């Protein structure tokens, strides 16, 4: 009895095939390069190679096997076409063809290199194909070899006639010598034998010594031999496509960067909570806040991320979330700011903490509200914090823990302002693989949200981040993948470094993050 059939493997094969195709199509430039190289190679062969021309003549070979014996033998059994094919390709025939073309016998070897002799199956026809640089020379060469072969065969037949004739004449001479000593009875028998030999001699001398007939003469070809230009270009295109696919496969196999959500999920062993899509940006735009001020797919992705975190986070509500990236270049600031706005839109009291002293303060690049705009009855933000206008989402507090714009050497425990237990804190910290101090924050928050830049982050970096967070006792909530690229962020960072953007304000006073409550500490242990 056979076991149960696993239907998942059957349905996984199309998915694996589609995944392989997507990996190949990521390297479209490499595939295009292979196609261009193939087309250039085909064009070079089509337009730059020396063309050759081939002409063919055909000869019908007559029976010459024992031509002076019985005539009742079948012709196909009297001719060895294999032997005749070798004779036609001999040096003697090539020398005769050279003389017919007006060349010296010493050129017979080079002349024979352009000759190809074939014998169609079940036939007594020899086909002479001659290849040369010009059509006229190809036709002359094919005809010359056909005539040279027939001349050589005729000479061999004439030599055979002469040998047979001499043999019969010798027999006649012996019989004539017998007639001088024979009596009348024997004389009649000798005379009869002598008459037979004379008839045999006449038959030998009357034989046709021509070895065959030319049934097709070579003509000047109108096109060069081999594939034409369209065929060569098509072959070049196919070869280039195959080369491009091979190079793309090699590039994909050797590429260590994270290119898809499946790769990030397999390396981190955590869910991918969101995929930030690409969105066109206006030239010179450096707006971090999207939720509440702008629409678009990225803003909706941040809203979906906020709802998912509120349901799946360990605190199932208010808590502290650390937003961090493996290395600089990812959209950590944008993710932290918009996540805070989205959580505010969900009804949470949110505090955004900038714990990265190596970048200008976030408060200098966010739309701030005056201090008088605080709603009566609402708890005051921590000291040194400012209210950020999130548009339709409301407003949230932002505390610039860094803001000097220079990488300051501090302790491992980054300063983070305290707040009430009902407040949700979104903490923005330095990259994990560049500053180990962020690991101290990973121990003191409820979860870590990793921002990964697709196309630039390497799988080894994600493995190291997973190991560091796990060893430090932190909880990795999941990853947010940014497919928008880093070109716009690099331009914005360059403007901030050169001073064309808003300048950072003075650093806010630092306060320490309060100790975790015993319940969360015990649950984490």
Q: What are phi and psi of 213, to 5 degrees?
A: -135, 145
- Residue 18 in any domain: the answer is no
Token code pair at residue 468 = 């560091």
pLDDT: which is higher, 412 or 170: 170
Asked whether residue 212 falls in the same domain as residue 244, the answer is no
Identify the residue whose tokens are 């714009």.
405
pLDDT: which is higher, 435 or 338: 338
Token code pair at residue 414 = 């980054």
- Residue 27's pLDDT band, with cuts at 50, 70 and 90, is confident
Q: Provide the pLDDT for residue 492.
A: 47
Asked whether residue 162 falls in the same domain as residue 208, the answer is yes
CA distance 373 to 367: 13
- Residue 13 in any domain: the answer is no
- Helix 229-254 and helix 7-25, axial crossing angle in degrees, nearest 10: 110
Asked whether residue 368 falls in the same domain as residue 407, the answer is yes
DSSP single-letter state for residue 185: H
Query: Nearest-5° angle of CA 253, CA 254, CA 256?
Result: 105
pLDDT: which is higher, 252 or 508: 252
End-of-domain residue from the set 216, 246, 279: 216
Torsion sign over Cα 24, 25, 26, 28: positive
CA distance 164 to 159: 9
Mean pLDDT of 134-147: 91
- Residue 6 in any domain: the answer is no
Asked whether residue 283 falls in the same domain as residue 368, the answer is yes
**pTM: predicted TM-score of the whole model, two decimal places:** 0.58
Q: Provide the pLDDT for residue 449.
A: 92
pLDDT at 516 exceeding the cut of 80: no
pLDDT at 76 exceeding the cut of 80: no
pLDDT at 511 exceeding the cut of 50: no
CA distance 75 to 89: 23
- Residue 522 in any domain: the answer is no
pLDDT at 390 exceeding the cut of 80: yes
- For 409, left (φ over 0), alpha (ψ -120 to 50), or beta? beta
CA distance 477 to 446: 9
- Residue 520 in any domain: the answer is no
pLDDT at 292 exceeding the cut of 60: yes
The number of folded domains in the chain is 3
pLDDT at 501 exceeding the cut of 80: no
Strand order in the sheet with 476-482: 272-276, 476-482, 447-453, 320-324, 423-428, 349-354, 395-400, 385-389
- Residue 60 in any domain: the answer is yes
Q: Which CATH number goes with the domain that contains 444?
A: 3.40.50.300
Asked whether residue 302 falls in the same domain as residue 163, the answer is no
- Residue 21 in any domain: the answer is no
Report pLDDT digits (tens) over 178-209: 777 766 666 777 788 888 888 888 887 877 77
Report pLDDT digits (tens) over 77-135: 467 888 888 999 999 999 989 988 888 888 888 888 889 999 988 888 999 999 988 88
Q: Provide the pLDDT for residue 129.
A: 92
β-pairing, 125-132 vs 115-118, is antiparallel
The HSE-up count of residue 347 (CA atoms within 13 Å, CB side) is 3
The mean predicted confidence, pLDDT, of the chain is: 77
Asked whether residue 62 falls in the same domain as residue 206, the answer is yes
Asked whether residue 321 falls in the same domain as residue 445, the answer is yes
Asked whether residue 451 falls in the same domain as residue 477, the answer is yes
- Residue 19 in any domain: the answer is no
Token code pair at residue 11 = 């349905």
The parent domain of residue 451 ranges over 261-372+381-510
Asked whether residue 59 falls in the same domain as residue 113, the answer is yes
């Amino acid at each position: 009895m056979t076991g149960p059939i696993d239907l998942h493997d059957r349905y996984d094969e199309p998915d694996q095939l589609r995944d392989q195709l997507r990996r190949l199509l990521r390297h479209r430039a490499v595939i295009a390069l292979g196609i261009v190289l193939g087309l250039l190679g085909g064009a070079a062969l089509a337009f730059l190679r020396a063309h050759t021309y081939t002409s063919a003549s055909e000869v019908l070979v007559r029976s010459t096997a024992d031509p002076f014996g019985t005539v009742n033998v079948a012709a196909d059994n009297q001719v060895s076409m294999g032997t005749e094919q070798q004779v036609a390709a001999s040096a003697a025939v090539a020398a005769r063809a050279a003389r017919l073309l007006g060349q010296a016998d010493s050129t017979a070897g080079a002349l024979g290199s352009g000759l190809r002799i074939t014998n169609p199956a079940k036939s007594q026809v020899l086909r002479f194909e001659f290849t040369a640089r010009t059509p006229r020379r190809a036709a002359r060469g094919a005809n010359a070899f056909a005539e040279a072969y027939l001349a050589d065969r005729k000479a061999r037949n004439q030599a055979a006639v002469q040998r047979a004739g001499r043999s019969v004449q010798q027999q006649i001479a012996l019989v004539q010598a017998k007639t001088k000593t024979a009596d009348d009875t024997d004389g009649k028998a000798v005379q009869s034998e002598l008459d037979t030999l004379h008839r045999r001699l006449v038959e030998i001398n009357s034989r046709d010594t021509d070895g065959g007939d030319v049934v097709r003469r070579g003509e000047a070809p109108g096109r060069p031999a081999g594939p034409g230009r369209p065929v060569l270009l098509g072959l070049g295109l196919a070869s280039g496509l195959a080369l491009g696919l091979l190079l793309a496969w090699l590039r994909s196999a050797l590429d260590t960067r994270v290119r898809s959500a499946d790769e990030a999920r397999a390396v981190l062993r955590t869910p991918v909570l969101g995929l930030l899509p690409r969105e066109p940006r206006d030239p010179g735009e450096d707006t971090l806040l999207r939720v509440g001020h702008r629409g678009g797919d990225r803003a909706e992705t941040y809203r979906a991320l906020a709802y998912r975190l509120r349901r799946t986070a360990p605190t199932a509500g208010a808590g502290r979330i650390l937003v961090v990236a493996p290395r600089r270049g990812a959209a950590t600031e944008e993710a932290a700011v918009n996540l805070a706005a989205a959580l505010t839109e969900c009804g949470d009291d949110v505090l955004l903490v900038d714990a990265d002293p190596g970048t200008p303060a976030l408060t200098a690049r966010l739309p701030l509200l005056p201090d008088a705009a605080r709603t009566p009855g609402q708890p005051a933000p921590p000291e040194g914090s400012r209210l950020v206008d999130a548009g339709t989402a409301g407003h949230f507090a932002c505390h610039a823990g860094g803001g000097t714009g220079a990488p300051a050497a501090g302790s491992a425990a980054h300063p983070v302002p305290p707040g009430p237990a009902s407040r949700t804190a979104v903490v923005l910290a330095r990259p994990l693989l560049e500053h180990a101090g962020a690991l101290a924050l990973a121990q003191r928050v409820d979860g870590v949200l990793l921002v990964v830049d697709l196309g630039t982050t390497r799988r080894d970096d994600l493995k190291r981040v997973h190991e560091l967070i796990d060893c430090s006792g932190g909880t990795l909530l999941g990853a947010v993948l940014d497919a928008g690229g880093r070109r716009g962020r690099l331009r914005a960072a360059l403007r901030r470094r050169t001073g064309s953007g808003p300048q950072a304000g003075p650093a806010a006073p630092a306060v320490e993050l309060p100790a975790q409550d015993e319940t969360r500490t015990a649950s984490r242990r």
